[in-house]
């Protein structure tokens, strides 16, 4: 049985506002965190990251390219209408079919559904997904897709979906004060959620408020003052302070987000491998992990987390500022170079520590803080020439499968390829690995791919941090998830 309902609002001090409320029209993890409290998917993940049924009652793999999903009956949308297999088909078509968003727009989430050939309804309550070729990670990717109401979308269009919602999740939209707060109300007719994740039933709290607080110091202050119950991206230097406070504590979980420096290979400086190698040798990753991240991260030499499928030990790039200076001189820069490093406000402190190390090695670096949307437009518009020097950023890998981190960040002109890296041999290898059903062969392909990028150094691969949250001791029933989802269905305020 669900925990007793209490009337107090649950308030989350959150780094970023949502970009949209449309499940099919974004590529931002923070946006998805809000949306997934409003909408449910065919499958979800339990606290141990296992994929389990949610809206689907059962999943059957008919063949290497055919999957059947039996849809649970009795699920209602927030407007009281019953969800059907037709809504599921409509949702998946809207994501996978070219131009299905309306006005010729294709969903930016299309790539997350891989080689889907068709979605059809069989036997009334069963949805069949047929793939163009084997794609072993379809079940792992489906938790990223939330089911919408066909009638609601057709009535309001893609433009309306940006600010309105009609999901099947534990909370429904109350009010969105853009830039300030997103207020969600408990959906009393909620079907209960995934049977494998207890408790099953309506949400514990009446309201959830995502209070937008971009500045880390302000989020910590709000937590310590008792104004919020959860804050994300707790700075490591605030851990001791939060633990020492009588009413607050710290919760951590192994993360799935790889941090890196993207170097613009299309520019006049970082197109030289020696300059990229110099940048890699300039940074003392171990020192930053120890002193700034308080030991709460694992260093990486390639894009994959040590916990990801296919990851393997790679040659380590040593910290050697003198070697960095020598490499710059060999590249024709005996007096060093001057660059600008872009980053978001939440990472300003870490970016400045990295910039100091780069400067010490002859790469004089100024940190420029930008808004998320601006930096995405500048660095992550597929096929668009890059205009900056360096970008301190990250990419999430909630599935812990290389497909949804390796391919987007390294394949030529892909959506997350901030470096502008192009390697036809790597492209071909990533394409082969995506459809290889033999796990051992597939792991070997990713090993080969990691060795390629380790040698080419299009990025300076840094670390995979733990996700660190500050929480009120009045909070119960909630634990952080490795996919960074803040699932508040079971969270209570005591």
| Residue 336 within a domain | yes
pLDDT of residue 5: 44
| Tally of structural domains, the chain | 2
In a domain, 1, yes or no: no
In a domain, 5, yes or no: no
Q: Is the pTM of this model over 0.85?
A: no
**Residue 432 and residue 489 in one domain:** no
pLDDT of residue 7: 54
Expressed as residue numbers, the domain containing 132 is 10-215+468-493
Given this model, what pLDDT does residue 6 score? 46
Q: What is the CA radius of gyration of the chain?
A: 23
Residues 185 and 273 in one domain: no
Nearest to 393 by CA among 417, 414, 422, 411: 417
What residue ranges of the chain have pLDDT lower than 70?
1-7
**Is 485:469 a contact under the CB 8 Å cutoff?**
no
Query: Do the bridges between strand 171-177 and strand 207-212 make them parallel or antiparallel, or are there none, so unpaired?
Result: unpaired
Can you state the angle between helices 424-435 and 439-456, rounded to 10 degrees?
160
| pLDDT value of residue 294 | 87
Question: What's the pLDDT at 482?
Answer: 81
- Same domain for 147 and 201: yes
Alpha helices in 337-417 (DSSP H): 348-360, 372-379, 403-410
Residue 228 lies in a domain: no
Question: Closest by alpha carbon to 165, among 149, 154, 181, 178?
Answer: 149
Q: What is the SS3 assignment for 319?
A: coil
Q: What is the DSSP letter of 36?
A: T
In whole angstroms, what separates CA 143 from the centre of its chain? 12
441 and 363 within one domain: yes
CATH number of the domain bearing residue 306: 3.10.105.10
Q: Cα separation of 226 and 295, whole Å?
A: 27
Phi, psi of 126 (to 5 degrees): -120, 130
CA gap 260, 458 in Å, rounded = 10
Q: How far apart are CA 190 and CA 168, in angstroms?
A: 7
Q: Where are the beta strands (DSSP E) in 304-361?
A: 337-343
Helix (H, G, I), strand (E, B) or coil at 358: helix
- pLDDT of 50 reads 87
457/483 same-domain check:
no
- On whether residue 234 sits in a domain, the answer given is no
């Amino acid at each position: 049985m669900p925990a007793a309902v209490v009337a107090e609002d649950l308030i989350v001090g959150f780094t970023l506002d949502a970009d949209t409320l449309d499940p099919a029209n974004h590529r931002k993890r923070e946006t998805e965190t809000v949306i997934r409290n409003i909408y449910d998917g065919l499958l979800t993940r339990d606290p141990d990251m296992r994929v389990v049924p949610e809206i689907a009652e059962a999943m059957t793999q008919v063949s290497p390219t055919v999957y059947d999903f039996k849809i649970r009956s009795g699920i209602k949308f927030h407007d009281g209408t019953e969800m059907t297999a037709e809504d599921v088909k409509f949702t998946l078509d809207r994501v996978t079919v070219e131009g299905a968003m309306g006005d010729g727009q294709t969903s930016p989430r299309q790539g997350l559904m891989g080689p889907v050939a068709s979605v059809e309804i069989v036997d009334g309550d069963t949805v069949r997904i047929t793939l163009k070729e084997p794609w072993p990670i379809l079940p792992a990717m489906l938790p990223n897709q939330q089911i919408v109401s066909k009638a609601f979308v057709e009535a309001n269009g893609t433009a309306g979906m940006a600010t309105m919602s009609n999901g099947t999740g534990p909370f429904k939209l109350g009010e969105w004060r853009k830039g300030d707060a997103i207020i969600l109300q408990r959906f009393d007719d909620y079907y209960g959620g995934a049977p494998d994740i207890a408790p099953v039933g309506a949400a514990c709290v009446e309201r959830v408020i995502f209070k937008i607080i971009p500045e880390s110091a302000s989020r910590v202050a709000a937590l310590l003052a008792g104004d919020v119950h959860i804050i994300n991206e707790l700075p490591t230097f605030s851990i001791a302070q939060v633990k020492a406070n009588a009413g607050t504590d710290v919760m951590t979980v192994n993360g799935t987000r790889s941090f890196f420096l993207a170097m613009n290979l299309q520019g006049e400086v970082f197109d030289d491998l020696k300059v990229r190698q110099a940048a890699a040798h300039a940074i003392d990753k171990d020192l930053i992990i120890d002193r700034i991240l308080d030991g709460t991260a694992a260093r990486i030499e390639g894009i994959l987390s040590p916990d990801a499928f296919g990851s393997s030990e790679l040659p380590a790039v040593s910290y050697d500022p003198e070697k960095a200076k020598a490499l710059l001189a060999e590249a024709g820069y005996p007096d060093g170079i001057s660059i600008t490093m872009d980053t978001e406000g939440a990472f300003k402190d870490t970016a400045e520590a990295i910039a100091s190390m780069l400067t010490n090695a002859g790469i004089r670096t100024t940190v420029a803080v930008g808004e998320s949307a601006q930096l995405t437009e500048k660095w992550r518009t597929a096929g668009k020439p890059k205009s900056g020097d360096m970008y301190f950023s990250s990419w999430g890998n909630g599935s812990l499968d290389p497909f949804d981190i390796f391919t987007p960040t390294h394949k030529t002109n892909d959506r997350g390829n901030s470096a502008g890296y192009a390697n036809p041999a790597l492209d071909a290898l990533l394409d082969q690995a995506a459809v290889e059903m033999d796990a051992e062969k597939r792991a070997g392909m990713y090993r080969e791919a990691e060795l390629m990028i380790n040698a080419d150094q299009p990025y300076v691969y840094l670390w995979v941090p733990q996700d660190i949250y500050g929480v009120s001791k009045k909070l119960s029933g909630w634990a952080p998830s490795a996919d960074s989802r803040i699932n508040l269905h079971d969270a209570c305020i005591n």
